[in-house]
A and B are shown apart, each in its own frame.
Chain A
Amino acid sequence: MFPAPIQDARPLGRFGYAAAVPIVLVIWLLPLLAIALTSIRSLEDLSRGNYWGWPDRIMAVHNYRAVFTSSPMGRYLLNSIMITVPAVVGTLALSSMAGYALAKFRFRGNLALFAIFIGGNFVPFQVLMIPVRDLMIHVVPLYDTIWALVVFHMAFQTGFCTLFMRNFMRELPDALAEAARLDGVSELRIFWHVVLPLVRPALAALAVLVFTFIWNDYFWALVLVQSDSARPVTAGLQALSGMWLASWQLMSAGALIAAAPSVLLFFLMQRHFVTGLTLGATKG
């Protein structure tokens, strides 16, 4: 087996491994730990410079409530959900259909189209800032609405997702769709009843990935919206920074709240990440 399992290493190697794992883990998690601690400190505690010690008072309930009372955090969260959910659903719907067509249908220009999808992924998104903003203001009047972000994210994420789905679907045996075709099943139903159930792991993985991308987006939230009614939580965190004094404890609490949905989704989707779904389709 390669690499050799660590259990088979010499004692010194095993010891080094056992020692290194916690160290790396702590370094890795330290920032997160700091934020979590900060989010339950009091402002005085912070102004005294106690960044790493135990908080003098646990202000968890107070701080987390303040996040919602001192800023339109509830609104921002709702906006984020209203942007992210439709964008993710739309992206997955479009990319799985486009991916299927590119993977399984022979038509002129298939490869060229696929190349464009790949190429699109290499366009740095900063380049798009001015044109997309202009487009949203002058051509499709969506500027400063939730739909501006939904439409943009959908368009932007579909490129990578199509590439991913196409490559995943290419591995499905042609004979599955052919067998259904011989039975007179329509292409749409083949897609729905045969193809989609078999790419569920890919869809779940993409769902988490794309959800996290869109949910965490800050750049486009600044470029495409400016009013509270459409602002997602990432851009909204600014509102917590405080008028005169930086309220680090509130910003930390807000950041953790903003990060929670992605983590939650990951655990919810985990049971779908099973591979080997096509097991038993063929000789095996």
Chain B
Amino acid sequence: MSDVQLSHIAKRFGDHAVIHDLDLHVAPGEFCVFVGPSGCGKSTLLRMIAGLEKISDGTLSIGGRDMTRVPPANRGIAMVFQSYALYPHMTVAENISFGLRMSDMPKAEIERRVARVADTLELTPLLKRRPSQLSGGQRQRVAIGRAMVREPVVFLFDEPLSNLDAALRLQTRVEILRLHRQLGATMIYVTHDQVEAMTMADKIVVLSAGRIEQVGTPLELYHRPDNLFVAGFLGSPRMNFLRATLVPDGEAVSVRLAGGGSLVFDLPGTPHGEATLGIRPEHLRLLRSGEKGAGLVLSATVDLAEHLGAETILHLTASDGTALLLRTEGLARETIGDAVQVLVVPEACHLFAPDGRTLLNGSQG
């Protein structure tokens, strides 16, 4: 088990800076997930750790040893590519053993390792096949097997599941987690799938435009986002944002929504001015006729009702034109065109400054 330490890491392609002065520590044995929008530099960062891209600035150490300039093969890492990158002209067994065969390792040891990896990944019956004779999921397992056979201290995955269909994705996700428990190796995993990030990670790193927005456990990030970007990025359907104005009121602050109505928060010493109020779809509550709730009531009309079975996502337009998403029970009877009353409870709200910083995270989880 080894930790991975990035200090002041930067990457430039010519004049184009892709990663800016980034610090990150991944603890030994941790499952760390990088998420972020397309083009934010996740793959680049991973490839820098792997040694496939030169590090322009800063230092990288793995297991306490400086690896900034060490060739990829000597870093103790293995990588699984999004495209699998299997050698098409080699059988599964040859694919898995290729790296070892090119080193001085004795034949018997190679065979032993390949057999063990094949056993773990249930590839034994497929060892003689070519990649073109395998299904997507099987190819994925071969790619993982090729990484495992090197017995690395750190595994790197670049969107390994994005080419699989939903069912296989779930199954492979579970398999990778089982592998993580079994091997105890440090794993760094890139994805832009929310569910993968939330379910697999010990630690999520949210990246945007080559910078870290926030690092934390999945639930920390979900419930206590540091800024507007993280709040909007994690969660599906995404958090609702309402434009608001802050008016200080003694020890408290009154948040006036652009669409009318206001809420009061305990927030001493906040500047007044523009702000954004955030609330997750599951924290908005429908008020059925005659019901009363403590909080702000918005009236809205239903644009679309997505019945997902266990739950229903209502797409609403508030009276001031703001689009809202609301998550409610699976048997909700609301349909397109209905007028509804929506309750916003202050305990569930997040408040963001105009520059995106979080002023306040709701206490209701």
Contacts and interface: CB of A to CB of B under 8 A. Distances in A.
Nearest to A194: B87
A260 interface: no
Interface string A175-198: 110111111111001000110011
Interface string B74-118: 100111010111111100000000111011000000000000000
Interface stretch (A69-77, A91-99, A272-280): A272-280
Nearest to A183: B99
A189 B139 CA distance: 24
Interface stretch (B60-68, B130-138, B184-192, B347-355): B130-138
Interface residues of B, number: 33
A155 to B, nearest CB: 31
A284 interface: yes
A86 to B, nearest CB: 27
B221 to A, nearest CB: 30
Contacts of B81: 175, 178-179
A283 B83 contact: yes
Given A183-B73, A183-B150, A184-B74, A281 B131 contact: yes
Contact of B102 (A183, A197, A198, A284): A183
A169 to B, nearest CB: 14
With a 10 A CB-CB cut-off, give which of A181, A198, A277 has the most chain B CB atoms: A181
A173 B131 CA distance: 15
A273 B104 CA distance: 35
Nearest to B73: A184
A193 B103 CA distance: 13
A182 B46 CA distance: 13
Interface residues of A, number: 25
A180 B131 contact: no
A184 B98 contact: no
A7 interface: no
B232 interface: no
Contacts of A126: none
With a 10 A CB-CB cut-off, give which of B86, B103, B139 has the most chain A CB atoms: B86
A199 B10 CA distance: 36
B141 interface: no
Nearest to B132: A280
Contacts of A175: 81, 83-85
B72 A185 contact: no
Contacts of B50: 182
Given A193-B102, A280-B139, A182 B86 contact: no
Contacts of A227: none
B146 interface: yes
B183 to A, nearest CB: 18
Contacts of A198: 88-89
B56 interface: no
A181 B134 contact: no
Interface string A248-281: 0000000000000000000000000000011111
Contact of A284 (B51, B74, B78, B136): B136
With a 10 A CB-CB cut-off, give which of A182, A277, A280 has the most chain B CB atoms: A182
B73 A279 contact: no
A280 B72 contact: no
B131 A280 contact: yes
Interface in B16-49: none
A198 B136 CA distance: 21
B163 interface: yes
Nearest to B95: A179
B89 A180 contact: no
Nearest to B84: A282
B79 A179 contact: yes
Contact of A182 (B77, B103, B133, B139): B77
Nearest to B103: A184
A204 B108 CA distance: 36
A183 to B, nearest CB: 3
A184 B134 contact: no
B98 A193 contact: yes
A277 B89 contact: yes
A182 B131 CA distance: 20
Given A178-B52, A182-B78, A189 B73 contact: no
B284 to A, nearest CB: 39
Nearest to A189: B102
A280 B132 CA distance: 4
Given A178-B81, A179-B79, A182-B77, A280 B88 contact: yes
B325 to A, nearest CB: 32
Given A181-B52, A193-B98, A284 B85 contact: no
B88 A179 contact: no
Contact of B85 (A178, A189, A197): A178
Given A280-B132, A281-B131, A185 B85 contact: no
B132 A284 contact: yes
A176 B52 contact: no
Contacts of B89: 197-198, 277
A75 B131 CA distance: 49
Nearest to B71: A184
16 contacts: A175-B85, A176-B85, A179-B81, A179-B87, A182-B51, A183-B150, A184-B74, A184-B99, A185-B98, A185-B102, A198-B88, A278-B88, A280-B133, A281-B85, A281-B131, A283-B84
Interface of B: 50-52, 71-74, 77-79, 81, 83-89, 98-100, 102-103, 130-134, 136, 139, 146, 150, 163
Given A175-B84, A185-B102, A280-B88, 5 more contacts: A180-B99, A182-B77, A183-B73, A183-B102, A283-B136
